Amino acid sequence: MEASAAATAGRFVAHEALRDTQDEMIRDGMDVLGAGGFLLAAAPTGIGKTAAALAAALETARSAAEPPVVMFLTGRQSQHRIVIETVRKINERLEPDVPKVRLVDLVGQQGMCINEIRGEHPALFSRLCVEKRGSRTCRPWLADSELIKPRVLKNPLHVDELVAMCKHPEDGAPHGICPWKVARETASSADVVVCDYNHVFVEAVRESSLPAMGLALEDMLLVVDEAHNLPDRIRRGFERRIRMKDIRDAITEIEEHMERTQSEMAALDEEDVDAKAAEVTQLRRSEAAMRRLLKDLPKWFAEIDGGLASSRTGDQRVSMITFLDRVSSILSEDIERAVELGALVKLLQSIRVEIDEDDDDIEEETACMRLAILLNTCTQNHDSPAFALVHDKMGGEEHRLTTHLLDPGVVSGDLLDQCRGAILMSGTLFPPQMYHDLLNVPSSRVSIVKEYTSHFLAEKRPVLIAKDVTSRYADRGEENTARIREHIHAVLRKTPGHVAVFAPSYALLEQIVIEDEQWTGRKLLRERPGDSKEKMDRMVDRMHRLRRSNTPALLAGVLGGKLAEGVDYPENILDAVICIGLPLPPPSARQDALRDYYEDMYGSARAWRYSGSQPAVNRLMQAVGRPIRKAADRALVVMLEKRLLQRGFKICMPEGVHVLETLDSARTERHVERFFREHPDPAKFTE
């Protein structure tokens, strides 16, 4: 069912006719944003959620006495282009008396750089960029951006178009104008800013980025796309690891910094020399303190090693307070050269080292900075149950400590409370109430927490669940593996085009899929650990070439990996998706801490669902949603996991999923044959 665009409230619609569900989402968005609240929308692919969210947010913003900026946050650069194209369509449909929507598209510095350093390793680039701006040797950065800003706002530009414009500006700036600088300085004049989650939800980025844009959270309406990723993105921002190697490297960095400081003293006047001499003295004291850490911290590891040896998970949670007490004790044990922990952290943050451009193993952060962040995280959060410190041995040998944020809501709750309102949406934001809980959405303000339906999915994306196979560890074996392979072969025999198969781990992918090699003449395209996003994109391009040559492919990846979540498959390029097993998190001290924390917060039933079963099912749904990107797409989904039919996992499946049970591979083959007889051809696209 479709409604005319004129029938819905709001002026900022991208299409002549709206689907009923899209119209419903626009109305909900305007209602809740108009009241300064939050919409959490589990909105399946194909209903037009990007256009709906923009329509609601823009109408609310333009109707305000002091219009906020709509910050469209997304973790995928492919989504940036969709937002820009949607805003262009909105502008084409606006009445003549309504000002056009102004938009700024912003990605990372390196992705927008036009300087010669743009091709360097990301970690090296970050340091070189800071150095060049600080020394005023980056000519594009120094160029005046005022003349180009009106051109940026005139028509919505994708970041590639913005970069091209800045590289060859009409005013003849011989070295171009830094596109990243232009985008940040223009943001406060835009109606919509498209950027990554980090600009709002990661403290270090937010504190440098938003002031540079001339924006504050109070000036914003947020639209968070793929919001199911937000809890883990926030958690990763607090995850830091250190080993004894990092302490050794930090000592080397302090020595290098100290040598450079001493060499600079010869050119200074007497007053400045005294200041530098005091700095060198502090560096020497800190270096000596770090050497004591290097010598004595292994004794603490030896004391707690027994807990690790008896752990069923290979790691153990340790007390942040106990760790900090031991570190402080070591730092102060030499009375004459004692160093206070807070002073050491501050000094570590100030250390600067020369960049070796030929070093292939350069880290994004210095060892000093990694150690400082971990110590600071422990110092600030040692009494919070929302944080955990975990000890393990890397490769079974070297001791390692890792900080974990268990509750993303301690970060997101305050940030959401500061903004004017937000739409958080995803096809797998299920159940939306779980994300309302996990993100600590302010209960003092109105919220709509809703799952929207898409009727076309039942017909165009049936889900077969096999009752005779599982990835459950206790049930694995040759017979189970053989049955899984039989189901896969049944799908391949009757599917005319490309098929993707995803396993819970690279080990299972290798065992079940790669080692089989009986893929009925299909071209195998596989994901490997560490593969880049660029390699994945090239793989999708190759799939299109193979389709044109009528060569079917088997795409093999892992659940939660780049092929299963980070890549789009346009033009209905996938005919079928097979998911092997359930990607439940493996046992670990961090997982135990998370479940214990959720039990205290929500009770045992929701703790299991929130920490284990629901994230696993949502990861499956992310994978099976890959082939369906538009309403016209069709694809068959096969889930090789009998546990999905048990109540504990069945309740985790979204409403509207059309589930069919299959008892064995023969029945699977008949289902596949029937589906492609009824839907023989992929969707046609004319856009």
CATH of the domain at 369: 1.10.275
> Looking at residue 74, what is its pLDDT?
92
| Residue whose structure tokens are 């120094």 | 142
User: What is the spatial distance between Cα 61 and Cα 27, in angstroms, rounded to a whole number?
Assistant: 14
Q: What distances in angstroms separate CA 341 from CA 323, 349, 389, 451, one per listed residue?
A: 12, 13, 18, 49
Which residue positions in the chain have pLDDT lower than 50? 1, 6, 686-687
Do 106 and 165 sit in the same domain of this protein? yes
For residue 3, tell me if it sits in a domain.
yes
Which amino acid belongs to residue 6? Answer: A
Do 428 and 566 sit in the same domain of this protein? no
Do 431 and 535 sit in the same domain of this protein? no
The reported pTM is 0.90
Range of the domain at 471: 456-678
pLDDT tens track for 579-598: 999 999 999 999 999 999 99
> Looking at residue 687, what is its pLDDT?
45
For residue 115, tell me if it sits in a domain.
yes
| Residue whose structure tokens are 């391949």 | 492
DSSP string, 156-200: ---HHHHHHHHHS-TT--TT---HHHHHHHHGGG-SEEEE-THHH
| Residue whose structure tokens are 């996003």 | 533
Do 143 and 66 sit in the same domain of this protein? no
Using alpha carbons only, give the angle 573, 428, 490 rounded to the nearest 5 degrees: 45
> Looking at residue 278, what is its pLDDT?
82
Do 536 and 617 sit in the same domain of this protein? yes
For residue 47, tell me if it sits in a domain.
yes
DSSP string, 557-578: EETTSIIIII----TT-EEEEE
Instruction: Give me the number of domains the chain comprises.
Output: 4
- Report which of 388, 438, 494, 470 is spatially closest to residue 606, judged by C-alpha positions: 438
Backbone angles phi, psi at 539, to 5 degrees: -65, -40
Q: What distances in angstroms separate CA 684 from CA 45, 93, 185, 630, one per listed residue?
A: 17, 25, 41, 11
Taking the alpha carbons at both ends of the chain, their separation in whole angstroms is: 22
Is residue 125 within 8 A of residue 177, CB to CB? The reply is no
**Which 8-state DSSP code applies to residue 286?**
H
Do 310 and 387 sit in the same domain of this protein? yes
- If one counts every other C-beta atom within 10 angstroms of the C-beta of residue 307, the result is 14
C-alpha 13: how far from chain center: 28
Between helix 49-62 and helix 77-93 the angle, nearest 10°, is 60
- If one counts every other C-beta atom within 10 angstroms of the C-beta of residue 309, the result is 9
Backbone angles phi, psi at 503, to 5 degrees: -115, 160
Is residue 13 within 8 A of residue 29, CB to CB? The reply is no
Give the domain-ending residue among 186, 203, 226: 186
Sort residue 36 into left (φ over 0), alpha (ψ -120 to 50) or beta.
left
For residue 338, tell me if it sits in a domain.
yes
For residue 684, tell me if it sits in a domain.
no
DSSP string, 590-607: HHHHHHHHHHHHH-HHHH
For residue 94, tell me if it sits in a domain.
no
User: What is the spatial distance between Cα 71 and Cα 423, in angstroms, rounded to a whole number?
Assistant: 10
Is residue 437 within 8 A of residue 602, CB to CB? The reply is yes
Do 262 and 374 sit in the same domain of this protein? yes
User: What is the spatial distance between Cα 320 and Cα 381, in angstroms, rounded to a whole number?
Assistant: 8
> Looking at residue 4, what is its pLDDT?
52
For residue 258, tell me if it sits in a domain.
yes
Do 594 and 500 sit in the same domain of this protein? yes
Do 209 and 354 sit in the same domain of this protein? no
Is residue 163 within 8 A of residue 172, CB to CB? The reply is no
Backbone angles phi, psi at 358, to 5 degrees: -95, 0
| Secondary structure class of 339 (helix, strand, coil) | coil
Strand partners, 415: none
> Looking at residue 457, what is its pLDDT?
58
For residue 412, tell me if it sits in a domain.
no
Do 197 and 163 sit in the same domain of this protein? no
Do 379 and 431 sit in the same domain of this protein? no
Examine residue 431 and say whether the peptide bond preceding it is cis (omega within 30 degrees of 0).
yes
Burial category of 269 from C-beta neighbours within 10 Å (exposed 0-12, middle 13-18, buried 19 and up) = exposed
User: What is the spatial distance between Cα 287 and Cα 291, in angstroms, rounded to a whole number?
Assistant: 6
User: What is the spatial distance between Cα 487 and Cα 671, in angstroms, rounded to a whole number?
Assistant: 11
The CATH number covering residue 586 comes to 3.40.50.300
Could you give the count of Cα atoms lying within 13 Å of 284 in the half-sphere of its Cβ? 11
Do 425 and 462 sit in the same domain of this protein? no
